């Protein structure tokens, strides 16, 4: 899969990090979305569904 | 086929709207304007149009703003407190540049006042009723036939300048019955809205032509634009910068100001040799014709400058009038409203005498004659 | 989703909403519903009032109206009645739709005109900085209720039903996929549809009322929402403090613009 993040859209609310069941995501030093370990992603898309800022998209490769 | 009828001013206003191509009315019952709604309720479905009685005055004008966005010509009618409630959307239609026409049949105020009695007390509310700086076009018919023709004119102006136009009737004119010759509606030229000349990809919803007026796309035709009451730039999207704010407000004013000579309408009655000028409008003008005729029989040189378009105010014409006459009298059914505008335009060159009446009765020709004789 | 953003959003992102605000989730649910139904983008109009949620119209690539505070429904009514071929979707909030726009709300429901109203309920006036609304729960803190709110909140779904709405549903930002489904059903319904979208305002409601951050507020939605089906099996005691989600009410009644067309047909035949 491919996880695409858009830093410009991200406001760092952390909702994606909270609801990711596999700890794939984190926030960087600036408080923006970052992918910690893409290999753990199960493409459940909970992050994409609940991101209020349209800052993360998950696609099956 | 042309026909001769005996109609009320309110009826003539409704028929004028149908003749102009109005296909949508939304409003709320209020004396003394209700006949306009009643007639539209009957007439609109006959011509394939829509009428809806809304839950309040605000909803009435809100619905016509919505209908206008789909390309329809629209009308609402109101009076007294209803006109106060409409101000919010008059401001919206001004800044969002949505053509609408509002008929206000004036009654005694403030508040509930005297619902069935005439007044001309909303003239300044017409000018400054909504908050903020804004241009206004307001017309004051003085006869039943003029209710018909000025209603059509209101659509011509509203569509041309993309803004609200106010038809400022008063209870005298609204409820008076007169003979009127109504032409075949097919012979009446329907005011046309200026549409986009480019495709959706190049379209900027609020980019004006050289006349200061942006072409307007109908909703549902693929232009997909945004309409807002926020200050916006030529894209139509909010832009609160000082430059965008000034640019928009300036354009809204200037699209009217630059055409003031085209918009201004007035009638001169026996003014050629007049030493006394009566400046008035609407129902009060009816008494002025009679008073002038009586005064002339007594050798008093008096004439009338009848305002047909009251806003924008014909400052230049009134200033010229002050060069010709010795005194100006301004009779009106209020505590003194348009008289202030006359004074401003006259700049002290001749005395300007208010003749204010606010007891819920019209000014009679005799009263006006006496006033003139006692100057 | 990325493709949907490209197709249905104007290139004006990021939006103005605060970090963690649920409005972005509810807005994307509306877009997913529109896409799911395959509505013609050129024949779909979005009308909003004033407030945080009402800013959504400016981001969406349709004919859009950002109208006046509380007045989205009259404007939408005018658009729909003037051109019934248009799909008209209304975006409003709890303050916009149920306080200043409360009268329009009940009467539009009563008329059963084919509008779909998505009411973003964040329990607070966010745009003005945290004042209480008719949907703020009793004894909540707000900047205009520093000692707690006295008033009872409307159950807006019950109000809509009582006023004559023929489709009433509720969803939450947490249950975003379900929200898409109930919005899509509302758009398909021929009549007045209300969808209450429970959403979180972590900044102006959450902070004052110690509700935690956006994630915590989403979890509260998850924990307190009970589907209509599940609720049937629960006792009133078990439902205490919970709220139902799903399609709460659906009925059939003549749709206003169709009824009006019948009047036109009659008037044009000269019938009384």
pLDDT in tens, C205-232: 999 999 999 999 999 999 999 999 999 9
HEC secondary structure over chain B: CCEEEEEEHHHHHHHHHHHHCEEEEEECCCCCCHHHHHHHHHHHHHCCCEEEECCCHHHHHHHHHHHHHCCCEEEEEECHHHHHHHHHHHHHHHHCCCCEEEEEEEEECCCCCEEEEECCCCHHHHHHCCCCCCCCEEECCCCHHHHHHHHHHHHHHHHHHCCEEEEEEEHHHHHCEEEEEECCHHHCCCCCCCCCCCCCCCCCCCCCCCCCCCCCCCCCCCCCCEEECCCECCCCCECCCHHHHHHHHHHHHHHHHCCHHHHCCEEEECCCCCCEEEEECHHHHHHHHHHHHHHHHCCCCEEEEEECEEECCCHHHHHHHHHHCCEEEEEECCCCCHHHHHHHHHCCCCCEEEEECCCCCCCCHHHHHHHHHCC
Distances (CA, A) of B208 to B72, B247, B252: 21, 11, 10
In angstroms, how far is CA A26 from the centroid of its own chain? 8
Q: How far is A32 from chain C (nearest CA, A)?
A: 11
| A18–C21 C-beta distance less than 8 A | no
Pick the closest to residue B148 from B33, B34, B15 (CA basis): B15
pLDDT in tens, B171-224: 999 999 999 999 999 999 999 999 999 999 999 999 999 999 999 999 999 999
C34 touching chain B per CB within 8 A: no
Dihedral of CA atoms C89, C91, C96, C97 in degrees, nearest 10, equals 50
- Average pLDDT over every residue of B37-60: 98
Are chains A and B in contact at 3+ CB pairs closer than 8 Å?
no
Of C28, C174, C214, the CB nearest to A13: C214
Average pLDDT for chain C: 97
Q: Candidates 2.30.22.10, 3.30.70.20, 3.40.50.720, 1.25.40.10; correct CATH number of A2-59?
A: 3.30.70.20
Q: How far is C207 from chain B (nearest CA, A)?
A: 29
Query: What pLDDT shows up at residue B198?
Result: 98
Q: How far is B17 from chain C (nearest CA, A)?
A: 16
| A54–C20 C-beta distance less than 8 A | no
C270 pLDDT more than 80: no
Pick the closest to residue B154 from B92, B91, B104, B197 (CA basis): B104
Q: Closest residue of A to C175, CA-based?
A: A50
Map tokens 């001013």 to a residue. B9
Which residues on A lie below 8 Å from C214 (Cβ)? 13-15, 52
Which residues on A lie below 8 Å from C19 (Cβ)? 11-13, 53
CB atoms inside a 10 Å sphere around CB B181: 10
Q: Closest residue of C to B45, CA-based?
A: C264
Which residues on C lie below 8 Å from B45 (Cβ)? 260, 263-264, 266-268
Structural tokens at position C251: 């009925």
- Average pLDDT over every residue of B225-251: 98
Domain extents for chain A?
2-59
Q: How far is C160 from chain A (nearest CA, A)?
A: 28
Return the partners of chain B (3 or more C-beta pairs < 8 Å): C
CB atoms inside a 10 Å sphere around CB B329: 25
**ipTM over cut 0.90:** yes
Helix H or strand E segment including C189: none
A45 pLDDT more than 70: yes
Whether a cis peptide bond, with omega within 30° of 0, leads into C71 is no
CB C28 within 8 A of CB C60: no
Structural tokens at position C14: 């990021």
- Average pLDDT over every residue of B221-233: 98
Assign C265 a pLDDT band (cuts: 50, 70, 90): very high
Provide the percentage of residues in chain C whose pLDDT is more than 70: 99
- Average pLDDT over every residue of B251-275: 98
Question: Chain B residues within 8 A (CB-CB) of chain C?
Answer: 23-24, 26, 42, 45-46, 48-50, 52, 54-56, 58-70, 72, 74, 88-89, 92, 219-230, 237-238
| C25–A49 C-beta distance less than 8 A | yes
Query: What pLDDT shows up at residue A60?
Result: 81
| B66–C74 C-beta distance less than 8 A | yes
Query: What pLDDT shows up at residue A61?
Result: 67
Query: What pLDDT shows up at residue B305?
Result: 98
Pick the closest to residue C215 from C19, C27, C2, C26 (CA basis): C19
- Average pLDDT over every residue of B96-119: 97
Helix H or strand E segment including C239: helix C236-239
pLDDT in tens, B57-94: 999 999 999 999 999 999 999 999 999 999 999 999 99
Assign A1 a pLDDT band (cuts: 50, 70, 90): low
Of A13, A18, A57, the CB nearest to C1: A57
Q: What is the sign, positive or negative, of the torsion defined by CA atoms of C76, C79, C81, C83?
A: negative
Of B63, B69, B223, the CB nearest to C74: B63
Pick the closest to residue C50 from C89, C90, C80 (CA basis): C90
Q: How far is B42 from chain C (nearest CA, A)?
A: 8
Q: Closest residue of C to A48, CA-based?
A: C1
Which residues on C lie below 8 Å from A19 (Cβ)? 215, 218
CB atoms inside a 10 Å sphere around CB C7: 12
Rounded to whole angstroms, how far apart are CA atoms B353 and B342? 10
Interface test with C, best of B42, B61, B226 (most C CBs within 10 A): B226
Of C61, C82, C264, the CB nearest to B67: C82
Domains along chain C with CATH numbers: 2-269 (3.40.50.970)
Question: What phi, psi does B255 have (nearest 5°)?
Answer: -65, -25
Return the partners of chain A (3 or more C-beta pairs < 8 Å): C
Domains along chain B with CATH numbers: 3-187 (3.40.50.970), 266-373 (3.40.50.920)
Query: What pLDDT shows up at residue B93?
Result: 98
pLDDT in tens, B130-147: 999 999 999 999 999 999
A11 touching chain C per CB within 8 A: yes
Query: What pLDDT shows up at residue B1?
Result: 74
| C176–A52 C-beta distance less than 8 A | no
C271 pLDDT more than 60: no
| A51–C24 C-beta distance less than 8 A | yes
> Sheet of B302-307: strands edge to edge?
B266-269, B302-307, B276-280, B327-332, B352-356
CB C222 within 8 A of CB C238: no
Query: If you ran DSSP here, which 8-state letter would residue A40 be given?
Result: G
Q: How far is C216 from chain B (nearest CA, A)?
A: 33
Pairing of strands A25-27, A33-35: antiparallel
Which residues on B lie below 8 Å from C92 (Cβ)? none
Query: What pLDDT shows up at residue C190?
Result: 98
Q: Is A54 exposed, middle or buried (0-12, 13-18, 19+ CB in 10 A)?
A: buried
CB atoms inside a 10 Å sphere around CB C19: 17
- Average pLDDT over every residue of A11-21: 97
B360 pLDDT more than 90: yes
């Amino acid at each position: 899969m491919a996880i695409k993040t858009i830093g410009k859209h991200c406001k760092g609310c952390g909702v994606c990090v909270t609801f990711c069941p596999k700890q794939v995501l984190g926030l960087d030093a600036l408080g923006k979305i970052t992918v910690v370990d893409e290999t753990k992603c199960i493409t459940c898309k909970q992050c994409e569904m609940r991101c209020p800022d349209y800052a993360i998209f998950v696609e099956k490769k | 086929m042309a026909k001769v009828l005996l109609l009320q001013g309110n009826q003539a206003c409704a028929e004028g709207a149908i003749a102009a191509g109005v296909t949508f009315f939304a409003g709320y019952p209020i004396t003394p304007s209700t006949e306009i709604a009643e007639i539209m309720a009957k007439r609109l479905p006959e011509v394939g149009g829509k009428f809806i009685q809304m839950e309040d005055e605000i909803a009435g004008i809100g619905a016509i703003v919505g209908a206008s966005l789909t390309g329809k010509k629209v009308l609402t009618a109101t009076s007294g407190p209803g006109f106060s409630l409409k101000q919010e959307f008059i401001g919206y239609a001004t800044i969002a540049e949505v053509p609408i026409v509002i008929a206000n049949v004036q009654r005694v105020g403030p508040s509930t006042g005297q619902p069935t009695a005439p007044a001309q007390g909303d003239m300044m509310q017409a000018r400054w009723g909504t908050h903020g700086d804004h241009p206004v076009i307001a017309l004051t018919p003085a006869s039943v036939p003029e209710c018909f023709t000025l209603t059509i004119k209101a659509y011509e102006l509203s569509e041309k300048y993309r803004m609200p136009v106010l038809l400022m009737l008063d209870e005298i004119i609204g409820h008076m019955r007169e003979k009127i010759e109504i032409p075949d509606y097919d012979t009446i030229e329907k005011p046309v809205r200026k549409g986009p000349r480019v495709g959706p990809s190049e379209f900027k919803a609020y980019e004006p032509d050289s006349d200061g007026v942006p072409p307007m796309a109908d909703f549902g035709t693929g232009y997909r634009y945004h309409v807002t009451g926020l200050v916006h730039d030529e894209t139509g999207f909010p832009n609160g910068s000082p430059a965008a704010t000034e640019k928009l407000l300036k354009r809204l004013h200037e699209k009217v100001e630059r055409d003031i000579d085209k918009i201004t309408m007035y009638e001169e009655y026996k003014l050629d040799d007049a030493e006394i000028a009566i400046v008035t409008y609407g129902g009060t003008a009816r008494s002025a014709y009679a008073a002038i005729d009586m005064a002339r029989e007594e050798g008093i040189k008096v004439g009338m400058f009848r305002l047909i378009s009251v806003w924008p105010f014909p400052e230049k014409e009134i200033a010229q009038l002050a060069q010709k006459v010795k005194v100006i009298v301004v009779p009106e059914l209020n505590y003194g409203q348009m008289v202030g505008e006359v004074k401003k335009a006259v700049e002290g060159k001749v005395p300007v005498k208010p003749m204010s009446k606010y007891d819920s009765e019209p000014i009679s020709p005799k009263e006006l004659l006496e006033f003139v004789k006692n100057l | 989703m990325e493709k949907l953003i490209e197709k249905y959003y104007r290139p004006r992102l990021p939006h103005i909403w605060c970090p963690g605000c649920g409005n972005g989730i509810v807005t994307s649910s509306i877009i997913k519903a529109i896409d799911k139904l395959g509505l013609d983008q050129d024949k779909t109009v979005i009308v909003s009032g004033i407030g945080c949620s009402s800013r959504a119209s400016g981001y969406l690539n349709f004919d859009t109206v950002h109208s006046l505070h509380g007045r989205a429904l009259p404007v939408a009514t005018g658009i729909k009645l003037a051109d019934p071929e248009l799909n008209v979707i209304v975006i409003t909030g709890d303050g916009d739709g149920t306080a200043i726009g409360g009268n329009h709300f009940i009467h539009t429901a009563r008329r059963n005109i084919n509008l779909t109203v998505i009411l973003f309920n964040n329990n607070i006036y966010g745009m003005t900085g945290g004042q209480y609304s008719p949907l703020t729960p009793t004894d909540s803190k707000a900047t205009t209720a520093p000692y707690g709110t006295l008033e009872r909140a409307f159950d807006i779904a019950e109000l809509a039903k009582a006023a004559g709405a023929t489709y009433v549903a509720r969803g939450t930002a947490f249950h975003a996929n379900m929200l898409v489904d109930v919005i899509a059903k509302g758009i398909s319904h021929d009549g007045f549809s209300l969808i209450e979208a429970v959403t979180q305002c972590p900044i102006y409601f959450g902070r004052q009322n110690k509700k935690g951050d956006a994630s915590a507020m989403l979890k509260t939605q998850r924990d307190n929402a009970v589907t209509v089906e599940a609720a049937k099996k629960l006792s009133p005691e078990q439902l205490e403090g919970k709220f139902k989600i799903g399609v709460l009410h659906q009925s059939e009644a003549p749709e206003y613009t169709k009824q009006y067309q019948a009047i036109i047909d009659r008037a044009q035949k000269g019938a009384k």
